Amino acid sequence: MIESDIAKSSALRFVILIGVVSLFADMTYEGARSITGPYLALLGASGTIVGVVAGFGELIGYGLRLVSGYVSDRTGRYWSITFFGYLMNMLAVPLLALAGSWQLAAILIIAERAGKAIRNPPRDAMLSHATKEMGRGWGFGLHEALDQIGAVLGPLIVTAVLYFKGSYRTGFAVLLIPALLALSVLLVTRLFYPRPRD
């Protein structure tokens, strides 16, 4: 009984930590996605180009999940692939502040989508191990709740930046803070839980 309680408690901590990573990650990329269209237009992209970039980003974002999930299962390197995806996903956003052309901004927007596609399958596989101990519905529900809090806060932060500073570049730069927080909590989680299936 005591061993079971310890396993559930450990699983809950893992789910909360990954949920906090998702909260900060969603703040970052959902905040960015709320202004990427107008930003591309400001850099000289046409409406057609904005649509193509957004559509191609989504295509990459979903297509790469098949590859990432397959490679994760075949290699067992869930943490390495998750880290690579988060790094790509999180750093592409603040780099948009430095984009001097719509072409470079488009590459970064697509890179952000690709990073999300790479990180999601191995992260969810690790979450599935933890939620087995505490209840899958409760575990995934808790993670999703934290994730959605970040998805709401990100655009609100960017809106506040635009209201007070009026600059898209500043909005992207401010998103470096939750991006670094997401990567820091991910690193801490990796140190505490090197083998989530255990």
Show me where the domains of the chain are located: 7-192
The span from the CA of 120 to the CA of 116, in Å, is 6
Backbone angles phi, psi at 170, to 5 degrees: -65, -40
pTM: 0.94
Residues of the chain with pLDDT > 90, as a percent, come to: 87
5 band by pLDDT with thresholds 50, 70 and 90: low
Above 70 in pLDDT, residue 184?
yes
Query: How far, CA to CA in Å, does 115 sit from each of 77, 119, 133, 171?
Result: 16, 6, 29, 20
1 band by pLDDT with thresholds 50, 70 and 90: low
Query: How far, CA to CA in Å, does 88 sit from each of 9, 71, 84, 92?
Result: 31, 17, 6, 6
Of the listed ranges 28-32, 38-42, 140-144, 193-197, the least confidently predicted one is 193-197
165 band by pLDDT with thresholds 50, 70 and 90: confident
In this structure, what token pair is assigned to residue 36? 């990427």
Rg of the chain's alpha carbons, rounded to an integer?
18
Looking at domain 7-192, its CATH class is mainly alpha
